[in-house]
Structure 1
Amino acid sequence: METLEGSELCFPQLLNTSCRKPVRSHFETMLIYILLSSISLLTAVLNLLVIISISHFKQLHTPTNLILLSLAVSDFFVGIVMCFQIIHLDGCWFFGDLMCVLGQYIAYIITIPSVGSMVIISVDRYVAICHPLHYSTKVTRKRVIVCICLCWTWPPIIQGLNLNDALEQPGRYNSCVGECIVFINYIVGLVDLIFSFIVPITVIVVLYMRVFVVAVSQARAMRSHIAAVTLQKSVKVTAKKSEMKAARTLGVVVVVFLICLCPYYCVTLTGQDNFLNASSAAFVICLFFFNSCLNPMIYAFFYPWFRKSVKLIVTLKILQTDSCETNIL
């Protein structure tokens, strides 16, 4: 009986203080590990392809693609960090209390720039569609780099306030050995909620709604302008397709963002659980991370240049001399 109980503990040698592993069937455990490992690997590979493509080919060194590069770098590291979340899915943390705190800190500062990059992308697209004549003067390489730097510098500062408190006595809130619990300060958590979720989602929804309205109005204006032409029927179909495409893009961006991030921030918003236990909150955390796997599909796979660059990368043609000068657009 002792052997059976010991096998269910994170640290069998510590019978009185060790945490217990959650009870799961072998099939369920294997399914979870295979699924999350696949997502982690896919996230890292897809975003690495985006990073190599934009970094290597000179034609892709545009302000818009710099934002995509920032997004891909953040999401690439999210794929790496997911490995630690997978290890912790059995309810046991084997790396010590200090690494528990640092792990939470690192996970935060590499996921938030992804959200910030999405906001910059929405601003970029808003200016490009709603103010096309001023795009080249408003969206410059220098301004984009400044915005990207802000996305990567303010998360460490915000989370650093909470880190100081957590490092005073790591693991003080753990109820057993092998648990990884980090207490979130109320003020820091509120600031995180406002600037990491409420403000970004508001900006994204407002700007994309504006983009959608402008796209639809342009399509209708074109249809009205050519209404007297004999090809009126085909123009009408084309206009409707444009409207549907705009609606689809808006829906994909906003819905995916909401589905992946809402569960995590809803827990924070309700304040029902200020002690984030990675074992009990595995689903919402992994869903939060899964957004990083979908980002390269949404923001990069829709671009023809990405498919062409992936082909050149896979066939190792980028190793040829002057391959960076290849016409990729």
Structure 2
Amino acid sequence: MELQDEAVLCFPQLYNTSCRNPASGWAEVVLLHVTLSFIALTTAALNLLVIISVSHFRQLHTPTNILLLSLAVSDFLLGLLLMPLEIIRNTACWFLGDVMCSLYNSLSFIITSASVGDMVLISIDRYVAICDPLLYSTRVTEQRVKVCVCLCWLCSILYGCLIVIDDFKIPGHNNACYGECMITVGYNEGIIDLIVSFIVPVTVIIVLYMRVFVVAVSQARAMRSHVSAATKQLSANGVKKSELKAARTLGVLVIVFLVCFIPYYCVSLAGDYLLSNTHAFYVLFLFYINSTVNPLIYALFYPWFRKAVELIVTLQILQPGSCEITIL
């Protein structure tokens, strides 16, 4: 009977301090690992296509696409790093050590914060483009957007390190046994995280896009009507049809993000017990799958992305001067 108990331990040699292996059945574990690993690989591959597309083709170097590039980078890192480590953390024993656990915890906050920051910047970009179109080209320049993106990532890195600074001081101090990797933050840090990563950005995103939605609807109605006054007003506002289409597309992106992000954060706020629950793991992966869906949204709404993927897959981007190809 003792041998059977040792067989399900993460570290049989540490009988009194080892965690039990969470694997419930060989077939179930293999199926779960294959499925989630496929999602992780797909997420990384799709977002890599977005990164290559926006980076390579000069015509795609616009302020809005730079924001999409930043979002794709965070989604790519999530699929390449966070998803595989999260699979290990929840479906198997953690064999990577306490220091790697602390780095993983910090990385999860960094990438999540960067994604949230990118969504806020995208909302601001669309707000200015739709609600103040005459000043958009002067206010939202490529250089300014690059500076904002760099600041977003810098703040996310600092935030991700500071929020789990206790883990770096004493790695593994929150783990109840060897073979476990817990994500825990103190009460004060939790309040700060609630405000900085959830309440403030979600409020900004919703308020800005509600305003964008109202203006977009009014412009769409003006386009459909042939009343002279409305047509003149539309021309005076200077809102292009392409900007309205971009607002709708990015609106879908933001809505999907909120649908995936809000349940994840509600579960995170419930505490450590719920975080270790199987259902919480799937809610967390719902947020991660948002990174898989984003490139599919681009493929559905952006013809330039479909054309770019075709050029990448057929290796035409390796030809001299391919960066100058007309893709819009």
Shared fold (TM-score greater than 0.5)? yes
Q: Indicate if the aligned counterparts of 2:47 and 2:72 stay in contact, CA closer than 8 A.
A: yes
C-alpha distance in 1 between matches for 2:187 and 2:197: 15
Q: AA paired with 1:29?
A: V
Deviation at 1:250, TM superposition (A): 7.6
Q: How high is the TM-score relative to the length of structure 1?
A: 0.86
Deviation at 1:300, TM superposition (A): 5.6
Q: AA paired with 1:61?
A: H
3-state SS in 1 of match to 2:272: coil
- Unmatched tracts of structure 1, length 5 or more: 228-244
C-alpha distance in 2 between matches for 1:280 and 1:23: 16
C-alpha distance in 2 between matches for 1:91 and 1:253: 33
Paired position in structure 2 for 1:238? none
3-state SS in 2 of match to 1:225: coil
Q: How high is the TM-score relative to the length of structure 2?
A: 0.86
C-alpha distance in 1 between matches for 2:325 and 2:285: 38
C-alpha distance in 2 between matches for 1:162 and 1:209: 31
- Seq. identity, %: 60
Q: Indicate if the aligned counterparts of 1:183 and 1:274 stay in contact, CA closer than 8 A.
A: no
Paired position in structure 2 for 1:4? 4
Q: Indicate if the aligned counterparts of 1:183 and 1:276 stay in contact, CA closer than 8 A.
A: no
Paired position in structure 2 for 1:210? 211
Bigger mean CA offset, 31-40 vs 305-314: 31-40
Paired position in structure 2 for 1:200? 201
Deviation at 1:221, TM superposition (A): 2.1
Q: Indicate if the aligned counterparts of 1:44 and 1:77 stay in contact, CA closer than 8 A.
A: yes
Deviation at 1:149, TM superposition (A): 1.4
C-alpha distance in 1 between matches for 2:255 and 2:111: 22
Paired position in structure 1 for 2:258? 258
C-alpha distance in 2 between matches for 1:91 and 1:71: 30
Deviation at 1:27, TM superposition (A): 3.7
Deviations along 1:105-153, whole A, 9 cap, x unmatched?
Answer: 1122122211111111111112212222211011111221121112101
Q: AA paired with 1:308?
A: K
Paired position in structure 1 for 2:302? 303
Q: Indicate if the aligned counterparts of 1:20 and 1:91 stay in contact, CA closer than 8 A.
A: no
Paired position in structure 2 for 1:316? 315
Q: Indicate if the aligned counterparts of 1:119 and 1:200 stay in contact, CA closer than 8 A.
A: yes
Bigger mean CA offset, 280-289 vs 192-201: 280-289
Q: Indicate if the aligned counterparts of 2:77 and 2:111 stay in contact, CA closer than 8 A.
A: yes
Q: AA paired with 2:196?
A: F
C-alpha distance in 1 between matches for 2:33 and 2:176: 26
Q: What aligned pairs does 1:21-170 form with structure 2 within 5 A after superposition?
A: 21-22=21-22, 24-81=24-81, 82-170=83-171
Structure 1 pair 113–105 and aligned structure 2 pair: CA distance change class (3 A): same
Q: Indicate if the aligned counterparts of 1:216 and 1:246 stay in contact, CA closer than 8 A.
A: no
C-alpha distance in 1 between matches for 2:73 and 2:97: 28
CA RMSD of aligned residues (A): 2.6
3-state SS in 1 of match to 2:117: helix
Paired position in structure 1 for 2:231? none
Bigger mean CA offset, 68-77 vs 255-264: 255-264
- Unmatched tracts of structure 2, length 5 or more: 229-244
Q: AA paired with 1:17?
A: T
Q: Indicate if the aligned counterparts of 2:249 and 2:301 stay in contact, CA closer than 8 A.
A: no
